Structure 1
């Protein structure tokens, strides 16, 4: 049979099925295959909020979307070119976002009358046979039956054999796009090394899917996506949570400090705890606390004891940690608080993404409690942001809030593994002896005698002879650290703590502005995970003949010193956010510039097309 191979520059695939159908595994393995081939990749795992919704229902649909290309991609794609639908619910949930002409690979065995009704289709209708999908290229493949037949020789119970249909689907899609298979075969053999029978069965299902694509006449055309250019060095795909965990380990190494994580499991931050718990050989101690308050309390205690204290959470947990963050502000000890944001308020949308914790990170404490706030912009950037958060915390003796979100935490992209000596050295500069002379002319230790440049106080490890001092939440006297209720001293300490955070801006590099022709009158300013969609939208605007500038903020408190001058250079400034305009409100309050806010709170990242439309509309009004 003749089959045509068509080269394409990029493809978006969405695997969708029940939460027990292994869609995350299939998507992750396809991503690994594409990255190994040399494609650039960007992914978006889309989890259901229900722990275990009834099988075949709309709330139980789990999906994994990946874009792979022969060029740099910064998003997982607005819409899928290929949808793999393992049941009617997966088709119904994802069809509204599918463009006409897209390919649908549907498991025909699952489109039974019962499953169709559970998915909300009218009784007696079947989209695979009623021509309602005529606008798409439909491939109704009996994935379940083919998988069971392929594994007949293994004599598995039918239910166990059916569970391998995700590998059959992965093999078919791998054939369709000419992806290498060796890594997946090796992965399956390693994953099921303790159960060789299951390893062989899954490999057989994967191979059967590939062979089905090779021999069937249903797929007359396959596609090939060439490799993308790659910068020199070692690369791997990495999720945001894993990159953040690695960044904390690397920063602790550069500071010569043991890393202590005090944490309570919460979606979508739990994977950081899981990853760090596997890295004890790097001097990492993990403590799974009974609640959020205990987690940060233990981390702050570790910081008091001379370790790098870290706690991880999401929005609801950050609220619970607020009092202890305030205590860390008062103690002026280094502490890193990682907030992997999710949809809120309250329990909200645990498995969906949002950027709505900015105000909480900036202001969510009693009293004047200034805390540096940073945000990562991509899965790989979570590593660099973690290193930067640790550097600031240790150098300035302050708690630091590092913002990520569900989109970054679970998404993945290629990442160049840095050499350790590329990272900044972080000097904890522990106090080792007296630093002042008392009224009697004797050497003494003053715990709030500050570094003249950073305004950081000494970090004295308990038990160091001669460095005994008082700690606690009550206000301390300048220099001596004694409890003080003096009004003038309190104002001095409050203003000094604010000045310490503001002073960080002096060492921040100038903002990077992407303005290729230098003539743009519109600036798109983002923060956090909007970086990828904004970059892609600006590229499309320029490709269509438009002119637009782009800048992105990592540091949200303090804001970069040159931000005001940058904003003043442009006639219009557009700020897209996955909240109701929190950064836009902050900018309007601080700078005499016309700030336009573009917001969404759908639990999903921005689509490139909607950003492009918004940018072009703003540019047309200039």
Structure 2
């Protein structure tokens, strides 16, 4: 649905939009998507996000394996998924276009950085000719924008090399999309000022790139229409909301459970994607009596947590599928000793070491039966990123009430995705 709004440049009202930002791992697509999401949350839309990282460790620039993307679905009503087909694809290079074009429906808008569509870059991903010129994109509304050149031009008065100036092109794209969807500019500007407070020149350059993108949308004839998605005021019960990811909600749930139980929180953990964020977050909360221990391996992590449970702490260990396999013996020991222990499994794809940045809900049978002898363990599974808070509280309640280890099964999409969360009243 789109209704025209009278006055000024043509503004059309939409009920929902799915946007996907895509580019190289170093192009800042996750930061761009995160900042657009923060502005959308502040505006009052319901939203759901899907960050998609490459499984490889920094694949060569400009290759299909190195494409990183961030998808955001926002609406004026209650939504439940980050969407399937993007209405808008922002492609920072040929690899990003080729990796994502199959998901984009005909008639959707595609914004491309034409500066990156060089003969060498096209050849690297198997394009025989430029898709911007060979007619293969005729079914889409394509906006060719020299993003890189315009960013460099906007920053010509700054003491930056061309390479340093080019790094701000994601902020140019953010400014353009913020104008296009009538997102408030104050949020990104405040964020950039705070993030680069110790580097005022870098802050000023990023702000200039953001404003240049906004102004380009305002003045160019290529973007004759901007869009508006009204706040989802009827979708939310009354309360105070914030945008939250699954791992952050889970971390807060663990701290809240420890306060409710009046027990110190102890995390024994070995870093593993996509669970490491919980270790990073809980290490910041020593003021709430939280102790974090980064162990030398998965077995040491759960062994230390089980010892903390024996000593009277609310004990937690975090991991993914490969770690659950290693922890199974100690989980069986916790069952035998009747000790409360939270084993948090942020699931990822594939057997063995698998695909760290891809997701599957692949560990249910391992969680149910992956121990020797008779050792049943309750399992709690959140349904959305915000629900991870309540799931952590419920898992802790079961563990402490029934003196048993509890497995909490989240996954990579819930862990890294985000949505509005109603902050609970402490009472």
- Shorter-chain TM-score range: over 0.9
| Alignment match, 1:196 | 200
- What is the aligned counterpart of 2:186 among 150, 171, 182? 182
Within 5 Å, which residues of 2 pair with 1:18-97? 18-97=24-103
Task: Give the RMSD, CA atoms, in angstroms.
Answer: 0.9
Runs of 4+ in 1 over 3 A off after TM superposition: none
| Alignment match, 1:330 | 336
The answer to whether the 8 Å contact 1:292/1:317 transfers is yes
Query: How far does residue 3 in structure 1 lie from its aligned partner after superposition?
Result: 2.9
1:284-339 CA-to-partner distances (Å, cap 9, x unmatched) read: 11111110000000000000000011000000001000011011011110100000
Within 5 Å, which residues of 2 pair with 1:186-585? 186-229=190-233, 230-421=236-427
CA distance in 1: counterparts of 2:197 and 2:133, whole angstroms: 42
The alignment of Structure 1 onto Structure 2 pairs a total of residues equal to 419
1:344-384 CA-to-partner distances (Å, cap 9, x unmatched) read: 10122111111110000001011111111110100000000
CA distance in 2: counterparts of 1:386 and 1:312, whole angstroms: 12
Structure 1 gap segments, 5+ residues each:
422-622
- What is the aligned counterpart of 2:153 among 138, 146, 149? 149
The answer to whether the 8 Å contact 1:262/1:296 transfers is yes
| Other structure's SS at 1:193 match | coil
Query: How far does residue 420 in structure 1 lie from its aligned partner after superposition?
Result: 2.1
| Other structure's SS at 2:408 match | strand
CA distance in 1: counterparts of 2:8 and 2:183, whole angstroms: 20
Within 5 Å, which residues of 2 pair with 1:131-150? 131-150=135-154
CA distance in 1: counterparts of 2:237 and 2:194, whole angstroms: 30
Query: How far does residue 10 in structure 1 lie from its aligned partner after superposition?
Result: 0.4
| Alignment match, 1:511 | none
1:421-452 CA-to-partner distances (Å, cap 9, x unmatched) read: 2xxxxxxxxxxxxxxxxxxxxxxxxxxxxxxx
Structure 2-normalised TM-score? 0.97
Query: How far does residue 2 in structure 1 lie from its aligned partner after superposition?
Result: 6.5
The answer to whether the 8 Å contact 1:351/1:406 transfers is yes
The answer to whether the 8 Å contact 1:2/1:220 transfers is no
| Alignment match, 2:3 | none
CA distance in 2: counterparts of 1:416 and 1:332, whole angstroms: 35
| Other structure's SS at 2:86 match | coil
CA distance in 2: counterparts of 1:129 and 1:208, whole angstroms: 27
1:43-93 CA-to-partner distances (Å, cap 9, x unmatched) read: 000110011100000000000000111001111111100000000000000
| Alignment match, 1:17 | 23
CA distance in 2: counterparts of 1:154 and 1:143, whole angstroms: 18
CA distance in 2: counterparts of 1:115 and 1:157, whole angstroms: 22
CA distance in 1: counterparts of 2:272 and 2:409, whole angstroms: 15
The answer to whether the 8 Å contact 1:42/1:75 transfers is yes
CA distance in 2: counterparts of 1:420 and 1:308, whole angstroms: 20
CA distance in 1: counterparts of 2:401 and 2:357, whole angstroms: 35
| Alignment match, 2:133 | 129
Query: How far does residue 233 in structure 1 lie from its aligned partner after superposition?
Result: 1.1
| Alignment match, 2:13 | 7
Structure 1-normalised TM-score? 0.67
CA distance in 1: counterparts of 2:231 and 2:187, whole angstroms: 17
| Alignment match, 1:444 | none
The answer to whether the 8 Å contact 1:250/1:420 transfers is no
